[in-house]
Amino acid sequence: MIDGVVPFPPEFAARYRARGYWRDRPLRAEFDDVFHTYADRIAVVDGPEQITYRQLDERSTHLARNLVDLGLRAGDRVVVQLPNTAIFVYLYFALQKLGAVPVLALPSHRYREIAHCVSLTDAVACAVPARHRSSRDGDFSFPDMVRRIGKDQERQLLGLVQGSDDPLDDRFVALEELLLRKPDAPEEALASVEIDPDDPAVFLLSGGTTGVPKLIPRSHNDYVFNSRLAVSVCDVSPDDALLLALPIEHNLPLACPGLQGFLLRGARVVLSTSTRPADVFDLVERHRVTHIHLVPSLLIRWLADPGIGSHDLSSLRVLQSGGQRLQPEVRERAGRLIPTAVVQENFGMAEGLLMFVRLDDPDDVRRETCGRPICPDDEVRLVDDDGRDVPPGEVGELCVRGPYTLRGYFRAPEHNTKAFTPDGYYLTGDLMRLHPSGNYVVEGRKKDLINRGGEKISAEEVENLILAHPDVANVACVPVPDEVLGERMCACVVLRPGTELELGELCDFLLAFEIAKHKLPERLEFFDELPLSPIGKVSKKDLVASVTEG
Ligand code: AMP
């Protein structure tokens, strides 16, 4: 086992095996079966390309052999930060085939986040797009970022680059070229690699509440089970098609049921690098898409688009919404504008536990709740501040352990003592109530983060950076409600005497730390001093009330 991974206690592992949840087969073995069973069916659609399961298998094997030639070995960690294209899918399965472990970052992450992932996991390679061009970001070179990380950390980082037009040096290889290059490593070199199914198949990035982002190891056993079970509650048949417009490195689009779950069923996955309504509607119409994974802010944007009426969206059956609470009026609007589809709310987290509303739940239960756990062995408790179970119907903090919920963040022993109870329950920081139906209702959260359109921002991480500003004496970052994104971040700042600060200036200051842009505050408010709670901590509740009323 990779050092720093917290294993499941043996008695729990034995139970999960005995119940058939864990099959002791690495992810690649499960997908070998899938690739053979559905060989001639379409697995992935990327622009004009329709890729069969056989092609996906062959191309990922080919890529894996070339990666072995480049020196990648079983157990190596590779930070992956790619857009929703077939290259991501080839690479994901190629890494599985050679026993390497993808560390999934987001396309919006920049030097600070990626450097952290590299150093925490001792990564040997980074897979990045060549460039990113946007009016907001200008022209950003990911390979340059990887070069700097390698230099700053004195590592020989291999760069795997997608979509490069420029010639690359010998530590930087175009992924497209690796799909064509004749490999030396024989296929048997892959087959002979032993993979322990209790080892991580993937590292996911936690939404997190701490100063530095945490990594979540998901084992082969738990992650395959996660997708197998998720797809079983989502009414998916082999003729269905899932549209993925959310970044595929997120747990939901990758595995809940996402890419993995739909492939396990022999269905199609249509990839989109765009979330623009016109592009999405066009793909739905063209590929007769049946399922979409989304966050409420995307649904709101799509439903508000005047083009919605001029597309045939009648193939849609399930709009799966997660990451954030779905407002009832958005659900109703969806019902009016896309009458063939039901909205299926799910409550999930990269740490593991998944709740889904079942499609045959009564209407009122589907409207009011975020679902219930997908596995009978998900041990869910709602507890008060002293860790005691609250009576049914009362609000408590959700804590959970189960066959696909982590037992510890990677290489974070100190944080783990706070994030887990001594008997292994993960304290989610979410506040919930048990609904009489047996489903759960989200009532808020205790954890200190901003949920911006489903993307989680740790308040502490941003506060630490703002505190480095010479004019700032104190700061607290809080969520303020937003009609579309659910929440945006407001920085509440106490300035040093005689100084001034503007939002734009503060954002420029933060950008100098090279953080992802979604972490920038969108509002700045000044205070003479920050309100304190009775125990002397900054009262974020009072701050939220004051900035939303003011
Ligand atoms: P992530 O790991 O980024 O998916 O974030 C997980 C967190 O998102 C959960 O702990 C919740 O705080 C929040 N979340 C996920 N799904 C929902 C939902 N349906 N309603 C409200 N909050 C949600």
Q: What local confidence, expressed as pLDDT, does residue 536 receive?
A: 87
Asked if residue 425 lies in contact with residue 381, where contact means CB atoms within 8 angstroms, the answer is yes
Q: What local confidence, expressed as pLDDT, does residue 486 receive?
A: 96
> Where does 83-141 have alpha helices with state H?
86-98, 111-121
Average pLDDT over residues 84-92: 98
Within a 10 A sphere around the Cβ of 20, how many other Cβ atoms?
Answer: 8
- DSSP letter for each residue of 301-356: HHHT-GGGGGS--TT--EEEE-SSPPPHHHHHHHHHHSTT-EEEEEEEETTEEEEE
Residues in the chain, overall count: 550
Whose C-alpha lies nearest to ligand 1, atom 19?
A: 347
Q: What is the pLDDT of residues 283-340, one digit of tens each?
A: 999 999 999 999 999 999 999 999 999 999 999 999 999 999 999 999 999 999 999 9
CATH of domain 449-549: 3.30.300.30
Q: Tell me, in angstroms, the distance from the centre of ligand 1 to residue 455's CA.
A: 9
Band the pLDDT of 138: cuts 50, 70, 90: confident
Q: What is the pLDDT of residues 208-244, one digit of tens each?
A: 778 788 999 999 999 999 999 999 999 999 999 999 9
DSSP bridge partners of 92: none
Q: Structure pTM?
A: 0.97
Could you tell me which of 397, 398, 353 has the C-alpha nearest to residue 377?
353
Q: What is the pLDDT of residues 365-397, one digit of tens each?
A: 999 999 999 999 999 999 999 999 999 999 999
Whose C-alpha lies nearest to ligand 1, atom 22?
A: 324
Which of 231-270 are b and which e, b meaning 16 or more Cβ less than 10 Å from the residue's Cβ?
bebbbbeeebbbbbbbbbbbbbbbbbbbbbbbbbbbbbbb
Whose C-alpha lies nearest to ligand 1, atom 10?
A: 349
Q: Tell me, in angstroms, the distance from the centre of ligand 1 to residue 56's CA.
A: 31
Q: Tell me, in angstroms, the distance from the centre of ligand 1 to residue 204's CA.
A: 14
Could you tell me which of 204, 247, 275 has the C-alpha nearest to residue 107?
247
Domains of the chain by residue range: 53-219, 449-549
- Rounded to the nearest 5 degrees, what angle is found at the Cα of 112, between the Cα atoms of 407 and 524? 100
Residue 207, ligand 1, Cβ within 6 A: yes
Band the pLDDT of 482: cuts 50, 70, 90: very high
Residue 353, ligand 1, Cβ within 6 A: no
The CA dihedral of 30, 35, 37, 41, to the nearest 10 degrees, is 140
Task: Tell me the Cα Rg of the chain.
Answer: 23
CATH of domain 53-219: 3.40.50.980
- DSSP letter for each residue of 359-377: TTS-HHHHHH--BEESSTT
The DSSP bridge pattern shows strands 352-356 and 372-373 to be: antiparallel
Percent of the chain with pLDDT over 70: 99
Give dist(CA 329, CA 370) in Å, integer.
Answer: 15
State how far Cα 404 lies from the chain centre: 15
Band the pLDDT of 127: cuts 50, 70, 90: very high
- Is 166 exposed, middle or buried (CB count within 10 Å of its CB: 0-12, 13-18, 19+)? exposed
Within a 10 A sphere around the Cβ of 108, how many other Cβ atoms?
Answer: 16
Average pLDDT over residues 75-91: 98
Phi, then psi, of 546 in degrees rounded to 5: -70, -40
Residue 331, ligand 1, Cβ within 6 A: no
Collapsing DSSP to helix, strand or coil, 446 comes out as coil
pLDDT at residue 170 greater than cutoff 80 = no
Q: Tell me, in angstroms, the distance from the centre of ligand 1 to residue 321's CA.
A: 10
pLDDT at residue 136 greater than cutoff 90 = no
How far separated are the first and last CA of the chain, in Å rounded?
A: 53
Average pLDDT over residues 341-358: 97
- DSSP letter for each residue of 8-53: PPHHHHHHHHHTTS-----HHHHHHHHHHHTTTSEEEEETTEEEEH
Residue 276, ligand 1, Cβ within 6 A: no
From residue 145, alpha-carbon distances to 28, 85, 137 in Å are 31, 21, 14
Residue 327, ligand 1, Cβ within 6 A: no
Strand ordering across the sheet containing 523-526? 472-482, 486-495, 523-526
Q: Tell me, in angstroms, the distance from the centre of ligand 1 to residue 323's CA.
A: 4
Residue 448, ligand 1, Cβ within 6 A: no
Whose C-alpha lies nearest to ligand 1, atom 20?
A: 325
State which amino acid sits at residue 408.
G
Average pLDDT over residues 245-253: 97
Which residues have CB under 8 Å from 134's CB, separation 6+?
none
- Rounded to the nearest 5 degrees, what angle is found at the Cα of 213, between the Cα atoms of 24 and 202? 20
Band the pLDDT of 534: cuts 50, 70, 90: confident
Within a 10 A sphere around the Cβ of 107, how many other Cβ atoms?
Answer: 17
Residue 352, ligand 1, Cβ within 6 A: no
Average pLDDT of the chain? 96
Residue 323, ligand 1, Cβ within 6 A: yes
Q: What local confidence, expressed as pLDDT, does residue 273 receive?
A: 96
